[in-house]
């Protein structure tokens, strides 16, 4: 049966890294007889230029009809002065909320070949393999009411609403337990239950789900401690699950444990595991067009897509192995370069992964 992939290269380095990811996809498509079909569309600044909005209804409809979406990155200085309502990032938020992509999976894996790229000591990060499951369509980023209002005394006040319904917590909780079942069966739920009622409920729902997954050991941690533990002893974690805002912050911190943002993939899934796959980094306008961007985060996002949405674990494993082989060969883009290694550009890195497949 054919599977349809909507490819959205986006802005900045997006088209460059997506071109390499497509080469890898084409190769595994043939090698493993995956029956993938591709369509291309616009999202972000390029869509604003072409049709005045960061995500058109037509592209959204194509995304809704696809089996998976592969995104490069959106945004850049050209569109920074636009009204907030039509900025490139709005396209991303609209896509996530319209398709109910509520589960954001962000692995932070330390490749042994890149141990000296981290700012932490190698013994603290070598062998690191954490999966952060972040709730993506609720919490304080979406809660109403919100705004900036003027009080009776003339002073202005900014306000947001942090809320989670039981069903929202339950669906992200189940997702995290299931991910933990596929890994080392340890799940740490991160909250601020000593201060925020919304997270008291969060903790209660996680505890209620736990007996359904008896093999998974569930622990709870306050977010301030979790931030500290991530830089102190990150290898204690297997899967972490948390709300939108805490997940936003913790996943970036976890990402940097591994040294380069150019290596980190991500997935955003709906309840049927259909999803959007993208590198964690942005459109890197400072290096766009120079042919030096690291395409590996996008290539590893393709591997997540094959694993989670398309159920093709053998092809996913093959891509991850090929990336590891290329690192063993000493090939490095500028962001992960170290002494004694061979510096390559975006296209050479993509070609090397294809050759290693
Ligand atoms: P960024 O991730 O684009 O860049 C941060 C730094 O990392 C830059 O020095 C960049 O050159 C480097 N970098 C990023 N990806 C790289 C790669 N693959 N290879 C080598 N180096 C890489 O973050 P930023 O500079 O804060 O944001 C730039 C633009 O991207 C902004 O418009 C922002 O809104 C947007 N953005 C988009 C997304 C997304 O599309 N999901 C995410 C974050 C930021």
Q: Are residues 239 and 287 both part of a single domain?
A: no
Alpha carbon nearest to ligand 1 atom 8, residue: 284
Which domain-ending residue is among 257, 291, 318?
257
Q: How far is the CA of 59 from the centre of ligand 1 (A)?
A: 23
* Bridge partner list, 174: none
For residue 61, is it within any domain? Answer: yes
Q: Are residues 142 and 205 both part of a single domain?
A: yes
* pLDDT value at residue 126: 86
Q: Are residues 99 and 72 both part of a single domain?
A: yes
Annotation says 191 is catalytic: no
For residue 115, is it within any domain? Answer: no
Q: How far is the CA of 145 from the centre of ligand 1 (A)?
A: 31
Q: Which atom of ligand 1 is nearest to the CA of 74?
A: 40
Annotation says 141 is catalytic: yes
Q: Are residues 249 and 301 both part of a single domain?
A: no
For residue 99, is it within any domain? Answer: yes
Annotation says 26 is catalytic: no
Q: Are residues 98 and 55 both part of a single domain?
A: yes
Count of other CB atoms within 10 angstroms of residue 162? 17
Which domain-ending residue is among 257, 290, 322?
257
Count of other CB atoms within 10 angstroms of residue 224? 13
Q: Are residues 329 and 225 both part of a single domain?
A: no
Q: Are residues 304 and 193 both part of a single domain?
A: no
* pLDDT value at residue 160: 97
* pLDDT value at residue 83: 86
Q: How far is the CA of 305 from the centre of ligand 1 (A)?
A: 21
Catalytic-labelled residue, pool 111, 192, 238, 312? 192
For residue 209, is it within any domain? Answer: yes
Annotation says 248 is catalytic: yes
Q: Are residues 15 and 33 both part of a single domain?
A: yes
* Six-digit token string for 150: 């003027």
* pLDDT value at residue 38: 97
* Long-range own/partner contacts, residues 81-84 (CB < 8 A, 24 or more apart): 82/48
Contact 2, 66 (CB under 8 A): no
* pLDDT value at residue 259: 75
Residues belonging to the chain? 357
Rounded CA separation 121/110 (Å): 12
Rounded CA separation 88/108 (Å): 26
Rounded CA separation 274/193 (Å): 31
Contact 141, 245 (CB under 8 A): yes
For 238, the domain range is 129-257
* pLDDT value at residue 1: 79
* Six-digit token string for 198: 């919304």
* pLDDT value at residue 114: 87
Q: Are residues 135 and 218 both part of a single domain?
A: yes
For residue 120, is it within any domain? Answer: no
Q: Are residues 305 and 322 both part of a single domain?
A: yes
- What's the structural domain count of the chain? 2
Q: Which pTM was predicted?
A: 0.91
* Six-digit token string for 128: 């690191």
* pLDDT value at residue 294: 97
Rounded CA separation 109/140 (Å): 28
Rounded CA separation 24/13 (Å): 17
* pLDDT value at residue 197: 97
For residue 13, is it within any domain? Answer: yes
Rounded CA separation 70/88 (Å): 16
Which domain-ending residue is among 257, 279, 295?
257
For residue 121, is it within any domain? Answer: no
Ligand 1 pocket, residue 20 CB under 6 Å = no
* pLDDT value at residue 258: 83
Rounded CA separation 24/40 (Å): 16
Q: Which residues of the chain have pLDDT under 70?
A: none
Q: Are residues 211 and 286 both part of a single domain?
A: no
Contact 68, 99 (CB under 8 A): no
CATH classification at residue 343: 3.40.718.10
Place of tokens 């969060």: 202
For residue 178, is it within any domain? Answer: yes
Q: Are residues 134 and 252 both part of a single domain?
A: yes
Ligand 1 pocket mutation pick from 281, 294, 295, 298 by most atoms within 8 angstroms of CB: 281
């Amino acid at each position: 049966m054919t599977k349809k992939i909507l490819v959205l290269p986006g802005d900045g380095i997006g088209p460059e890294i997506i071109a390499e990811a497509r080469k890898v996809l084409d190769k595994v498509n043939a090698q493993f007889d995956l029956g993938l079909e591709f369509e291309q569309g616009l999202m972000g600044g390029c869509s604003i230029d072409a049709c005045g909005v960061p995500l058109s209804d037509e592209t959204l409809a194509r995304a809704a009809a696809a089996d998976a979406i592969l995104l490069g990155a959106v945004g850049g200085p050209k569109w920074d002065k636009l009204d907030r309502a039509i900025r490139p990032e709005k396209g991303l938020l609209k896509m996530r909320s319209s398709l109910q992509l509520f589960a954001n999976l962000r692995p932070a894996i330390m490749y042994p070949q890149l141990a000296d790229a981290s700012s932490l000591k190698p013994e603290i990060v070598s062998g690191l393999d954490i999966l952060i499951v972040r709730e993506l369509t609720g919490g304080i980023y979406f809660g109403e009411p919100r705004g900036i209002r003027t009080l009776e005394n003339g002073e202005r006040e900014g306000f947001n609403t942090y809320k989670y319904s039981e069903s929202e917590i339950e669906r992200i909780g189940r997702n995290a337990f299931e991910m933990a079942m596929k890994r080392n069966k340890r799940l740490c739920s991160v909250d601020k239950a000593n201060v925020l009622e919304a997270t008291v409920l969060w903790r209660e729902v996680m505890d209620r789900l736990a007996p359904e997954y008896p093999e998974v050991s569930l622990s709870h941690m306050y977010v301030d401690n979790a931030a500290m533990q991530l830089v102190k002893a990150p290898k204690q974690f297997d899967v972490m699950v948390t709300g939108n805002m805490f997940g936003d912050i913790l996943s970036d911190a976890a990402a940097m444990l591994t040294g380069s943002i150019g290596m980190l993939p991500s997935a955003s899934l709906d309840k049927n595991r259909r999803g959007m796959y993208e590198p964690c980094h942005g459109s890197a306008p400072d290096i766009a067009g120079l042919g030096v961007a690291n395409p590996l985060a996008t290539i590893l996002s393709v591997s997540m897509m094959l694993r989670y949405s398309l159920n093709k674990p053998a092809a996913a494993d093959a891509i991850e192995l090929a990336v590891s082989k290329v690192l063993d060969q000493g090939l490095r883009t500028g962001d992960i370069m170290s002494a004694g290694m061979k510096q390559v550009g975006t296209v050479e890195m993509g070609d090397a992964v294809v050759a290693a497949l």
